[in-house]
Homo-oligomer: A and B are copies of this chain.
Amino acid sequence: MSDGYREMWRELGLDLKRHDELLASLQPVYQNMYLSQKNRPKAMGYYDFVVSEIHGIRIKELVDFRKKGGKVVATFCLYVPEELVLASGAVQIGLCGGANTTIEDAERDLPRNLCPLIKSSYGFKVSALCPYFAVSDLVVGETTCDGKKKMYELLGRRMPVYVVELPHKPYTKHARALWFEELKLLKERLEKLTGNKVTAESLRNAINLVNKKRRVLKRIFEARKARPSPISGKDAILVTQIAFYDDVTRFVEKTKELAEELEERVKKGVGVVDDNAPRIVVSGCPMAIPNWKLHHIVESSGAAIVAEESCTGSRYLNIGDINSSADSVDGLLKAISEAYLNIHCACFTPNDERVNDVVKMVEEFDADGVIHYNLHSCHPYSVEANKVVRALKENGIPAISIETDYSKEDVGQLTTRVEAFIEMLRK
């Protein structure tokens, strides 16, 4: 990344010394995990560039946007509708952390046995290592899991935080009413932040724009159904990860190019692995950038990850195309609130919809097995793993359940388990 950003980082209050180390450490990891892959789609060049500029060009854009009075809203969960944020004139970025570096910083305030995603994210704030935190005007949290919900209280001492309540038994009339009212309150909070009124027009435009983003991501997923898959799981998850913080219009345009290339490959039968490589669906916790650990282990073992049933995967796509035909703000908000309940998060109970989703995906993606992926100490997914794995086995689908974090300590052990599983799938 250009040295020209140093002044910007200094102005944003980053810990420059540690920040240099962080960026320097990412480079060889990316080289090893990504750039060394064979036969990558050409269009991945854009995402490589985005990663190479991870704290550079996008931050510069956001800094410039704020200089002109723009506001940046940071989120940690799919359940905060980007449509609403965009309609208020703000920009939304995802702040989930996927790096181990900042966990020790977080543990000064947070208990050790909390999920690494929560600790990593909070740690990026307290360690002053994340320019995305630094350019955020407001964090919008949600009551999805205990860990995040309570972490937001501590984060609220350090920056403005607003929390939206998500019901956990979402299918009653009164739960839907609560969720709708919560989105209305969020709209008011965003209007207060930006000074802009959310109108039917601005909301409709935002819905249409974000629909485009989900649609193009869906094309990537559709292409992965081909045998052999035209893109590695590692590359595919990177695209999803970048979807959470890139400029939406540019992202849609660039990802269209990738989708076209993948569709072309599928027509020609071009893939990144051979036809016989076992095909894996990974199901479970989200993987925040740069958490590519499991994907790297699986694909280095000769299998291909063809889909992710996760927030950085199918759960995001399941929101689907939101109907933008209503002519009032409330009508459009209603459409948003209903569509978002298609995200089958483990925070819900009993959440059988998710279990069914995983089984269905195995068929649709012609997968040979499932790895249930659980971040250490994430209770919703770790307990639900039992139901998912049981349902898969009842359907004759091989499955293993793993629990891990962001450290390198268990890489050897994980590799052994994954290799044994893949070996079994080959038989």
**When chains A and B are docked, how far (Å) is the Cα of A156 from the Cα of B384?**
13
Q: In the complex, what residues of B have CB within 8 A of residue A165's CB?
A: 167-169, 172, 175
Do residues B168 and A149 form an inter-chain contact, with CB atoms below 8 A? yes
**When chains A and B are docked, how far (Å) is the Cα of A181 from the Cα of B172?**
10
Q: A27 to nearest B CB, angstroms?
A: 34
Q: A153 to nearest B CB, angstroms?
A: 5
Instruction: Select which of B145, B175, B185 is within 8 A of A146 by beta carbon.
Output: B145
Do residues B182 and A146 form an inter-chain contact, with CB atoms below 8 A? no
User: Residue A382 at the B interface, CB < 8 A?
Assistant: yes
Do residues B150 and A349 form an inter-chain contact, with CB atoms below 8 A? yes
Q: A165-B175, A174-B178 in contact; A386/B146 too (CB < 8 A)?
A: no
Q: A384 to nearest B CB, angstroms?
A: 6
Do residues B386 and A109 form an inter-chain contact, with CB atoms below 8 A? yes
Q: In the complex, what residues of B have CB within 8 A of residue A350's CB?
A: 153, 156
**When chains A and B are docked, how far (Å) is the Cα of A374 from the Cα of B146?**
15
Q: A107 to nearest B CB, angstroms?
A: 11
Which residues A332-388 have CB closer than 8 A to chain B? 346-347, 349-351, 374, 376-377, 379-380, 382-387
6 pairs, CB–CB < 8 Å, chain A vs chain B: A113-B376, A153-B351, A153-B387, A154-B387, A163-B169, A177-B178
Give the B-binding residues of A (Cβ under 8 A).
109-111, 113-114, 143, 145-147, 149-154, 156, 163, 165, 167-169, 172-175, 177-178, 181-182, 185, 346-347, 349-351, 374, 376-377, 379-380, 382-387, 403
